[in-house]
Amino acid sequence: MTIYEGKDYKDLSKKAAEIIAAEIRINPGAVLGLATGSTPEGVYEQLVEWYEAGELDFSKVTSINLDEYKGLDGSHEQSYRHFMYQHFFDHVNIKKNRTFVPDGTEMNSEKACMEYEEIITQNGGIDLQILGLGANGHIGFNEPGEVFIPETHCVKLTQNTIDANSRFFESREEVPKEAYSMGIRGILQAKKIILMAVGKQKAQALYDALYGGISPEVPASILQLHPHVAVFADGEALTVVKENRP
């Protein structure tokens, strides 16, 4: 596991984007596992900038997103598919039929999850997975719990996550209470993983993920078992790591 400290958010986003850009240049048909939320926005912005400068080609790339709110159509402005169009897909030459996000409109959870597992398998798994880190240690919507769930599953979101996401909705009541999430197996089978953490509110979770015991109570701690994880964090997110690193 390698840790990169960015001078600021823009710097760490550029460093993470450089890894993704290198993957695409080496493997033009790369399968990218993508994340949403505020943390990777800077990465997508940088990749778009390089695309517009003629330095990157996404025409053969496939993307598989981590998660989606159950009950939201892809056109809903708070859906994760909409997020991806707004911040990335609409600004590069990736083929839309090669961009995969769980189907939030499928209310049959078992069917939705089985279909997404098939998509991951049919595309040969993920070459490079981008992950944000929740303040409670979640990755994707793999929330703290009693066991690691290997396959794509329907998650009842914790109050902590609902509260964190409520800033994107007009009221807390409008925040979906369930989501579809790629499971731990899908994440761990990625050949390479980028974990991003920004802000002091992520500091304890980042330390627990990197140096604590491996436990489903801190889902990101499972990444300690992966051979190729690069962590990109700012100084605030690394405060507890610097104070306590073995």
User: Which range has the worst mean pLDDT, 41-50, 51-60, 73-82, 121-130?
Assistant: 73-82
Question: What's the chain's Rg over C-alpha atoms?
Answer: 17
Is the pLDDT at 130 greater than 70? The verdict is yes
pLDDT digits (tens, 9 = 90+) for 65-123: 999 999 999 998 989 999 999 999 999 999 999 999 999 999 999 999 999 999 999 99
Structure-block tokens of residue 169: 């909705």
pLDDT, mean of residues 20-46 = 97
Report the pLDDT value the prediction gives residue 118, as an integer from 0 to 100.
97
Dist CA 198 CA 94 (whole Å): 27
* Catalytic residue, candidates 23, 67, 208, 234: 67
Is the pLDDT at 218 greater than 70? The verdict is yes
* Catalytic residue, candidates 136, 142, 208, 234: 136
The question of whether 136 is a catalytic residue gets the answer yes
Report the pLDDT value the prediction gives residue 246, as an integer from 0 to 100.
64
* Catalytic residue, candidates 103, 143, 208, 234: 143
The question of whether 160 is a catalytic residue gets the answer no
Structure-block tokens of residue 216: 């489903």
Report the pLDDT value the prediction gives residue 158, as an integer from 0 to 100.
77
Distances (CA, A) of 116 to 106, 110, 176, 245: 11, 10, 20, 38
Tell if the pTM clears 0.85, that is, is over it: yes
pLDDT, mean of residues 163-184 = 85
Query: Which domains, and CATH codes, for the chain?
Result: 2-244 (3.40.50.1360)
pLDDT, mean of residues 225-245 = 95
**DSSP conformational letter for 215:** B
User: Between these two residues, 70 and 164, which has the higher pLDDT value?
Assistant: 70
Is the pLDDT at 192 greater than 70? The verdict is yes
Dist CA 94 CA 30 (whole Å): 11
* Catalytic residue, candidates 82, 87, 138, 153: 138
SS3 79: coil
Is the pLDDT at 163 greater than 90? The verdict is no
The question of whether 76 is a catalytic residue gets the answer no
Give residue 167's pLDDT band: very low, low, confident or very high (50, 70, 90): confident
Is the pLDDT at 38 greater than 80? The verdict is yes
Residue 212: HSE in the Cβ half-sphere, 13 Å Cα cutoff: 18
Q: Please provide the average confidence, as pLDDT, over all residues in the chain.
A: 95
Q: Which residues does residue 65 pair with via DSSP β-bridges, in sequence order?
A: 34
User: Which range has the worst mean pLDDT, 58-62, 123-127, 154-158?
Assistant: 154-158
Report the pLDDT value the prediction gives residue 214, as an integer from 0 to 100.
98
The question of whether 23 is a catalytic residue gets the answer no
Give residue 166's pLDDT band: very low, low, confident or very high (50, 70, 90): confident
